[in-house]
Structure 1
Amino acid sequence: MEKALKSRYGQIVLVIIILMIVLFCRLFILTVMQNEEWKEQATSISTKSIYTKAPRGEILDRYGRVIAGNKQAFTLQINAGESTDKELNRVCSEVVRILEKNNEQYFDNLPIIINGNKFSYTYDNDIKEWLSEQEMPTNFTARKAFNELRIRYEVDESLDRYEAQTELQNVYKIYPPISVKNMEFTKEQDKQSFLGRYKLDQKTLTEKKAKKTDLSAKEAFYQLRTYFNIDPMLSNEQARKIMVIRNEIKAMGFRKYLPADIAKGISDNTIVEVEERSAELPQVKVVSETMRYYPNANAASHIIGYLGQISESDKEYYVDKLGYNSNDLIGKEGIESAYETTLKGKDGSKNVQVNAVGELVRTISETEPEKGKDVYLTVDLELQKTAEDALKQALKQIQVGGTFQSQYGNYHYSKAYRNANVGAVVAIEVETGDVLAMASEPDFDPNLFAAGISKEDWNALQSQNPRDYMAPAPLYNVATMTPVQPGSTFKMVTATAALESGLDPYRKLHDGGRIMVGNRPYACLIWHKNGGSHGNINLAEALEVSCNYYFYDIATGKDYYKGVSLGYRTPISIDVITSYAEQYGLGKPTGIEIPERVVGVPTAEKKMEQMKTSLKLDLKSKAEKYFRGNVVKDEDKLAKSIDTIVGWTEENPTKNQIVDRLTKMNLGVKENMIDSLADLCKYTYFNYADWTLGDEFNIAIGQGENSYTPLQMANYVATIGNEGVHNKVSLIKAIEGQKPIEKEPGTKVKLTDDRHLDQIIEGMKLVANGPKGSLKGIFGNFPVEVAGKSGTAERSGKMHPPDEVAYIKQHLRQINPKLSFDQVENEMNRLMKKEPDTYRTKDGAIRQAVINLSNGTVNYEKIDAYKSNYDNFAWVLTMAPADHPKIAVAVMIVQGGTAGYAGPVAREVIGKYLQLDKTYEDFDLNTTIQ
């Protein structure tokens, strides 16, 4: 035996025996001990999952007409499955080649770009681009940028950061890409989320305090090359294309077994090529899906909203928690957003077994996709289109002094107002509070967002002038988000308060022309024009001619012409008037299902705080004028001095007391400016911080601190027409498969006598049909009697141009002919370099430069002298038929010039509604949604 083993032949035999034993043992393990495990894997390898995306629920009008629907589109997907990195990289490279050859757009969410030899994060580039657009240094932190916006737009310092953000968004249409929760740019958060997904720079990310990584874009790129095991022989450009596709697959998170969308809406050429090469590209498939489609384009765009990609920071919620695909589009605004989880369907799946050549053997299991629920709106699509068309026509014709064409009679705009390019119209069903139509202008086409909006299209939809928050901004819902002074349309509130206090509506009061409060006359337009008067009038007649003098009387309980009390049963005050405003729904949330802005009714506390804030901002902006240089340079000292002065507001000391304090308290005020500063504080701010008689007059006629949206105003007039019952506003009629929506009962305005509303409506009838009514020329020959009220709201201040530097360059000769623009520009640059914290933008620095170089001969008022004033805003509130109102309509045109100019829009809507009401009165919505 030993001899045999020593021979070559024996050794070979021994090796063979050992190998046979090993093979036998391995076969025993595989076939007996691991039988079930390998059987499962074999089945898995021959099993494929086919996923079908569920169509999104449709959004329909009250009669079932489609506003937001779906259309077929083809999507290219990749399912990585168990593919190796090498195989998957090959497939990704080939897919990109096919897509680019056929000029297809594919998802590129890889936030690292290469420009020559330079690498950069798209997140960083976006932050710098935004800062540059805002004329801020590109090294500004999120906190500095946010504080700069607060200063620039004079946001009340008493507001916390969340309230300040809301103010910037709702009032000024400024949406800073900043998370105010932790004062970081949202793009910076997205970057950290992206790097964390790949566990890049692991050491930094796992530090005790989880500090942000400082990994450069280049370092991250090369770490990703390694992570994806990309061939080192490929160029960085080729590698990046592979990374782009791998990134989409990776973004699926723990649902990586699902296919990732790579390109949507692909062409027939791409479909054919992918199908022909299915054997060599088994991970790739083309699926038929539905894509959001808005058949009526811009119609109801602000109601519907739009779709958008899931942001990096939202992926944890939508992708990981709710199971969305990372490239799914979600509702970002409007009904699309408010009812996202209702509209989103449940994707289907089919598990099939295939043979070695990929042919279908059998279907193992199948789950059908479930379409999202349809949402039925209260809106009438045809009425909505009428409202939009009428508003567009009115704005176009007002700008040129043209003629509004209508089947109910043409209306000529005798004077042009070229800045009348923003407006809104809202129509509400009086009995229910349902929105029948709601249009804002300018609007937008939500189809731009259906497959992901381009940067160019997105920029085109932004505000034309961020420095003027009344400038056209297509994405902004004017109807719900723009509270402005209502003008004389507020007078029905004042009338209600006066009647409830004891006003005799039939008592004649004499219009004495004007009432002097200090040096200011409070009067009607007729007096301002030619010293005229409305004579002796009662409540209905005062509404007809919109007599301010009469409403000054009844809002204060005094006959100013005779100098006697009106003898009310109970006292009347601003608080009484605003309490009725709230009962009518003004200054309060309406209940609408999409975002709205609510300012609240005027209060004494609010006025005091606003005055303090205005004084503080004024002193900060004029710090160099009033304070010594050492104080201006020391932010803490300056802040303490200003806070001390502002703290005197409620006390309202005399001018001599102010001078004495400024002299003795070492606040750093220049000695030669003490008297001037005392005048500013006393006569511009302190004397007006408390309620004054002028405030009472202004609020009574819808001026002053009153500020309400067109939506609130429409529901206010609907409440008058609904016998004083105030309903919550709604856009939702029904949801597919759910029980009919039960509305909460409305709340009744507290009236001691319901006839008070009848007396107010009589006056509103005269506005539309009376011999002196402001709307007689519009509704005088209308086939149905209408009750209405017009209002012209004044807006103070100047319209800031988009570029202050360009403005000053254009008007420098008028502002100060002794200065050259080179001098001003050099001084501007000096200020920004010397005091970057004070002069953060060219807009502010160039104004101060002109003042500095003018040696006190130029002030802000003189600089702004050549800017345009705001034209008056036009309001019209109507309801029809007057005796039994079914529809209430509010129209507001920004810088529309005069109240009547909004009237033709309301007339078109009422006319269309009354026709549709007859056509569809027997329609049963329940038969549509069962």
Structure 2
Amino acid sequence: MFDDWKEAFLSFITSRIFVLMVLFCGFFGILMSRVFVLQIIDGKQYAESFTMKIRKEVSIASTRGRIFDRNGEVLADNVLSYSVTIEDNGTYQTTREKQATLNRTILKVIDIMESHGDSSINDFGIIYQNGHYAYTQEGTSLLRFKADVYGYKTIAELEDKPEEYVSTADQMMEYLCGNKKYFISPDAYSEDQIKQYHVPTDLTPEQILKLVTVRYQMSTNSYKRYVATTIASDVSDETVAEILENQSELQGVDIAQNSLRVYPDAEYFANIIGYIGKPDQDELESLQEENEDYEANDIVGKAGIEQYMETSLQGKKGQRTIYVDSVGNVLETESETAPESGEDLYLTIDKNLQKAAYDVLEQRVAGILVSKIRNMKTYDKSAGHSAADILIPIYDVYYALIDNHIIDTTHFSADDATDLEKSIQTRLESRRASTIDRIRAELTSDQPAAYTDLSIDMKNYMSYIVSDILMGSHQVLMKSAVNTEDPTYIAWAQDETISLKEYLEYAISMNWVDVSGLDVKASYLSSEEIYQVVVDYISTELENDVDFQTMLYKYMLLDDIVTGKEICLLLYEQGVLEYDEETVGRLQNGSYSAYNFMLDEIGKLEITPAQLALEPCSAGCVITDPNTGEVLACVSYPGYDNNRLTNTMDSAYFASLNLDHSSPLYSKATQQQTAPGSTFKPVTAVAGLEEGVISPSEIIHATGVFTDAYGSPTCWIYNQYHGSHGNINMVDAIRVSCNYYFYEVGFRLGGGRSTGYSSEKALSLLAKYATEFGLNAKSGIELSESDPQLSSQDGIRSAIGQGNALFTVSQLARYVGTIANRGTVYNLTLLDKLTDSEGNTIEDYPSSVYNKMEIADVDWNTIQEGLHQVALNTKAFDGLDLTIAGKTGTAQQSKSHPNHALFMGYAPYENPQIALAIRIANGYTSANAAAMASDIFKYYFNLEGKEDLFNGGASQATSEVIND
């Protein structure tokens, strides 16, 4: 029996079962020993580690300082509001679970908000339009945006990544939606994961963009999970209630109370005040050099005074000390230091004067437009007419409403488009197809027409194809490769004697064409095949090109395929104008013509010059105290609503401002430059007097044609009447703005008949005295301002302001203020004082002097009397109970564009209180600028007629024509 047990035992221990049992027992023993170590020996240590608290410092934003005008009127304020926020504070098993949950939560929050009329943040640099995503910025700003999105610190780093450097908005969105970033696309998940995580597969492009916008903002907080990201600001009470009711289902979502920046009179002050928002990387680094406390999610000044005075307005952040666990959840708050409000800023601006001047500019520009619009289809600007006689066809007005995006043509194909919109869309599609066929036929013809022999519309299409389609982003026709001195290029671009087909075929033979970036399957193509690829590319691009589509509307209008009446009705259907049943009925039955309707609407300012963006559509004005350099008004028309750019930017609105042909973001007061025209003549007069080449009483016989100069420049009186001013002294020469007289002064400054004329010498002396007046430098105003340009060509013509000198209105304002105070060149300033929240002054900003001119009193008397005589002989100032001095100026752009109109002056003449400079770009005649000045003088000095200034409509254009 023992042997049986022994044999059984030996059989068991040598069996596979025994080996497995030993192995299982061994593993079990190891496991139990590990559990013993974890729970008994090291249990306390791991328990403490699990509940470990990490100490963190959290910044608390301060309340931004307010901005006031000189009289304490609020220009920028703060209001309390509710915001919807989200924190990435959930715990997830996998990355895909986390991404899907975040996306689902954000979409649900957006749905809740939109159901109550609120919207999520829209400050991402991409919008969706015309079936594609598009960037809202261009140039350096776009490159900075791309660098930020793709995670590069500098633009230079981005440039080393060609695919990302040239990426389209569609390509960037594809990247952001994929599994490298936010896992929004269903392609980032498997089929099982789509079901498991409830990933939506039917999001619209608009929904995707909203989701990307929030996710991108959250990503800037990715290193601080306990810092909330704002999804929406200033939401309604209904949104607040529903969010709080559903908060248990919305991981990380909360309601916060914060301070929002508001601008009570946005369009009047936007170009002065600017706006605030999150800094880009360059802005952040610049701010951190001044104060290391700045962070990526701070709200900072982005433009205007908000940017210039950022560090004073920002205030001091508070600090909250918190404890978070190992996954970023806040466990407790240890301490908190309250933030300190920013300092309040008082400007030198007079709010009421600023608003009055803005309204004057708009009314006067509208009046000029109304006076020039005629009931015609076209106007030939090359027919030899004077620039002062250029007319505006009513069909240009109709087209302007489309070209400047006042009428939204993208809505014509929307699901909720009206019958009229759908009808026009059908006509457009038909016209587009036929036009592309015409273009393709021309490009493939055996005998294509030379450019000069094409119809006007085909000329424009062919030019557009070269400049925008072929030399656009794909650079099919490589700009860097084209030899502009090549005879064939000259035959195309200058002589216009060959066809586009001939030019492109030659460009291919010269390797100026690159089709490698197109979808070409063959690796080698013959010249004929390359040309066919190019033609196909042109056709495909034109099918979807928005600008080409806009061009089509111009010729559809001219061919009466779309009528003026339909354009007028669209203004009501799209809500541009408030619906008026009676007016709509009259338009429909033909008793009210589209022409008269447009004149009436412009006259009532229901349709503004800014919306039409025709010539003229803008103006700038700077009003100063000539005794201190304080800026009382700095007006740029048109303005914009900076409320929509501040706090969180409305990207779609920002994009529309960039597309607006009236350029509202571009200050007409401090950035727009033109030649000074005759407003420069006082500089020439001072130079002539101080250099002793002429005296105040010397008589010059002005014949009308100055034969001592190359080309024999003429005086305006000779051009107009073949006349001359005859014997004339300096005061009279300023009064009548005699070009001949100032040609002679410029000639003498260059050596004249005594030592032989030198243009360089004349230019040097003119520059010397222009520099004395401060015209060589920026005015000192605390806004973005263009650098002035002194004339560097033709000393004689430069003497009348017709060289290549360029100045802003702000620079002309400082210049005329210097004449008014007889030689003190102040640095213009917008800043008055800084105060604390209790109104106690922290810092004053006294006047500062740029230069003090040493000019003889007799010379100042001569200049000022000449300017006084100008005002006395200007009809716009007739009947004003006020003595005025000033100078008109007309700057020619080209014969096909109306001249720029300028006026600078001051009042009262004997004891100046204000000085001003005005420019109307393409304002026809300086009499229009003088009329603006007259209105401003009436308002400021409370003169008779002030009560009639602001009647809510266009001012009647002046009939006066000033020749200068």
> Do the two structures share a fold, i.e. TM-score over 0.5?
yes
Q: Specify the alignment match of 1:287 in structure 2.
A: 256
**Is 2:158 the partner of 1:177?**
no
Identify which of 795, 798, 802 aligns with 1:703.
Answer: 802
Cα deviation for residue 489 of structure 1 reads: 1.2
* Cα gap change, 1:48 to 1:402, in 2 (>3 Å): same
Q: TM-score normalised to the size of structure 2?
A: 0.59
- Tell whether the 8 Å contact from 1:891 to 1:906 is kept in structure 2 after alignment: yes
CA distance in 1, matches of 2:296, 2:643: 20
Q: Specify the alignment match of 2:359 in structure 1.
A: 389
- Tell whether the 8 Å contact from 1:398 to 1:417 is kept in structure 2 after alignment: no
CA distance in 1, matches of 2:303, 2:635: 15
Identify which of 449, 452, 457 aligns with 2:653.
Answer: 457
Q: Specify the alignment match of 1:497 in structure 2.
A: 687
SS of the counterpart of 2:357? helix
- Tell whether the 8 Å contact from 1:109 to 1:247 is kept in structure 2 after alignment: no
**Is 2:816 the partner of 1:717?**
yes
CA distance in 1, matches of 2:884, 2:773: 20
Q: Specify the alignment match of 1:522 in structure 2.
A: 713
SS of the counterpart of 1:461? helix
Q: Specify the alignment match of 1:75 in structure 2.
A: 83
SS of the counterpart of 2:673? coil
SS of the counterpart of 1:424? strand
* Cα gap change, 1:708 to 1:249, in 2 (>3 Å): closer
Identify which of 189, 192, 198 aligns with 2:147.
Answer: 189
SS of the counterpart of 1:557? helix
Residues 305-348 of structure 1, C-alpha deviation per residue, up to 9 Å, x if partnerless?
23455447767777999666756554332222223333334444
**Is 2:343 the partner of 1:332?**
no
**Which amino acid in the other structure matches residue 431 of structure 1?**
N
Q: TM-score normalised to the size of structure 1?
A: 0.61
Q: Specify the alignment match of 2:617 in structure 1.
A: 421
Q: Specify the alignment match of 1:93 in structure 2.
A: 104
- Tell whether the 8 Å contact from 1:417 to 1:871 is kept in structure 2 after alignment: no
Cα deviation for residue 256 of structure 1 reads: 3.3
Identify which of 837, 844, 847 aligns with 1:740.
Answer: 844
Q: Specify the alignment match of 1:303 in structure 2.
A: 272
* Cα gap change, 1:486 to 1:518, in 2 (>3 Å): closer
Residues 102-149 of structure 1, C-alpha deviation per residue, up to 9 Å, x if partnerless?
41433478999999xx9x9x6xx64xxx9xxxxxxxxxxxxxxxxxxx
* Cα gap change, 1:701 to 1:110, in 2 (>3 Å): closer
Residues 260-282 of structure 1, C-alpha deviation per residue, up to 9 Å, x if partnerless?
22222323222112222344546
**Is 2:721 the partner of 1:759?**
no
SS of the counterpart of 1:273? helix
Identify which of 567, 573, 593 aligns with 2:762.
Answer: 573
Q: Specify the alignment match of 1:877 in structure 2.
A: 904
Question: Counterparts in 2 of 1:419-498, with a 5 A limit?
Answer: 419-462=615-658, 464=660, 472-498=662-688
* Cα gap change, 1:280 to 1:27, in 2 (>3 Å): farther
- Tell whether the 8 Å contact from 1:427 to 1:887 is kept in structure 2 after alignment: yes
**Which amino acid in the other structure matches residue 729 of structure 2?**
N
Residues 47-69 of structure 1, C-alpha deviation per residue, up to 9 Å, x if partnerless?
99997543322222122211122
Cα deviation for residue 392 of structure 1 reads: 0.8
**Is 2:66 the partner of 1:66?**
no
**Which amino acid in the other structure matches residue 226 of structure 2?**
Y
Q: Specify the alignment match of 1:789 in structure 2.
A: 887
Cα deviation for residue 367 of structure 1 reads: 2.1
- Tell whether the 8 Å contact from 2:99 to 2:182 is kept in structure 1 after alignment: no
- Tell whether the 8 Å contact from 1:253 to 1:319 is kept in structure 2 after alignment: no
Identical-pair percentage: 29
Cα deviation for residue 558 of structure 1 reads: 9.3
Q: Specify the alignment match of 1:105 in structure 2.
A: 119
* Cα gap change, 1:275 to 1:754, in 2 (>3 Å): same
User: Structure 1 regions of 5+ residues with no counterpart?
Assistant: 1-11, 131-174, 197-204, 355-359, 404-413, 466-471, 608-690, 798-868, 917-930
**Which amino acid in the other structure matches residue 904 of structure 1?**
A
Residues 796-843 of structure 1, C-alpha deviation per residue, up to 9 Å, x if partnerless?
35xxxxxxxxxxxxxxxxxxxxxxxxxxxxxxxxxxxxxxxxxxxxxx
- Tell whether the 8 Å contact from 1:89 to 1:242 is kept in structure 2 after alignment: no
Q: Specify the alignment match of 1:160 in structure 2.
A: none
CA distance in 2, matches of 1:888, 1:291: 36
Cα deviation for residue 459 of structure 1 reads: 3.8
Question: Counterparts in 2 of 1:213-232, with a 5 A limit?
Answer: 221-224=177-180, 231-232=193-194
SS of the counterpart of 1:67? strand
User: Structure 2 regions of 5+ residues with no counterpart?
Assistant: 1-24, 325-329, 374-387, 393-614, 837-841, 944-964
* Cα gap change, 1:363 to 1:101, in 2 (>3 Å): closer
Cα deviation for residue 39 of structure 1 reads: 6.5
Q: What is the RMSD of the two structures over their aligned residues, measured on CA atoms?
A: 4.8
CA distance in 2, matches of 1:397, 1:27: 91
CA distance in 2, matches of 1:313, 1:915: 48
**Is 2:778 the partner of 1:589?**
yes
Residues 824-883 of structure 1, C-alpha deviation per residue, up to 9 Å, x if partnerless?
xxxxxxxxxxxxxxxxxxxxxxxxxxxxxxxxxxxxxxxxxxxxx122221111111112
Q: Specify the alignment match of 1:899 in structure 2.
A: 926
- Tell whether the 8 Å contact from 2:270 to 2:640 is kept in structure 1 after alignment: yes
Cα deviation for residue 582 of structure 1 reads: 1.3
- Tell whether the 8 Å contact from 1:114 to 1:237 is kept in structure 2 after alignment: no
- Tell whether the 8 Å contact from 2:390 to 2:897 is kept in structure 1 after alignment: no
Question: Counterparts in 2 of 1:490-889, with a 5 A limit?
Answer: 490-502=680-692, 503-516=694-707, 520-557=711-748, 573-603=762-792, 607=793, 691=794, 695-696=795-796, 698-737=797-836, 738-751=842-855, 753-769=856-872, 773=873, 775=874, 777-796=875-894, 869-889=896-916
* Cα gap change, 1:211 to 1:225, in 2 (>3 Å): closer
Cα deviation for residue 761 of structure 1 reads: 0.5
CA distance in 1, matches of 2:153, 2:100: 21
* Cα gap change, 1:458 to 1:874, in 2 (>3 Å): same
CA distance in 1, matches of 2:710, 2:285: 62
CA distance in 2, matches of 1:21, 1:514: 108
SS of the counterpart of 2:627? coil
Cα deviation for residue 717 of structure 1 reads: 0.7
Residues 573-619 of structure 1, C-alpha deviation per residue, up to 9 Å, x if partnerless?
2311221011111132212222111242123xxx4xxxxxxxxxxxx
CA distance in 1, matches of 2:128, 2:679: 59
Question: Counterparts in 2 of 1:78-157, with a 5 A limit?
Answer: 78-81=86-89, 83-84=91-92, 90=101, 93-103=104-114, 104-107=118-121, 126=135
Task: Kindly tell me the number of residue pairs found equivalent between the two proteins.
Answer: 646
CA distance in 2, matches of 1:551, 1:758: 18
CA distance in 1, matches of 2:820, 2:153: 59
Q: Specify the alignment match of 1:375 in structure 2.
A: 345
- Tell whether the 8 Å contact from 1:79 to 1:259 is kept in structure 2 after alignment: yes
Cα deviation for residue 462 of structure 1 reads: 3.1
* Cα gap change, 1:535 to 1:25, in 2 (>3 Å): closer
CA distance in 1, matches of 2:883, 2:123: 59
- Tell whether the 8 Å contact from 1:726 to 1:748 is kept in structure 2 after alignment: yes
**Is 2:256 the partner of 1:256?**
no
* Cα gap change, 1:25 to 1:497, in 2 (>3 Å): closer
SS of the counterpart of 2:340? coil
SS of the counterpart of 2:223? helix
* Cα gap change, 1:113 to 1:497, in 2 (>3 Å): closer
Residues 169-210 of structure 1, C-alpha deviation per residue, up to 9 Å, x if partnerless?
xxxxxx84248xxxx9445434431799xxxxxxxx99xx98
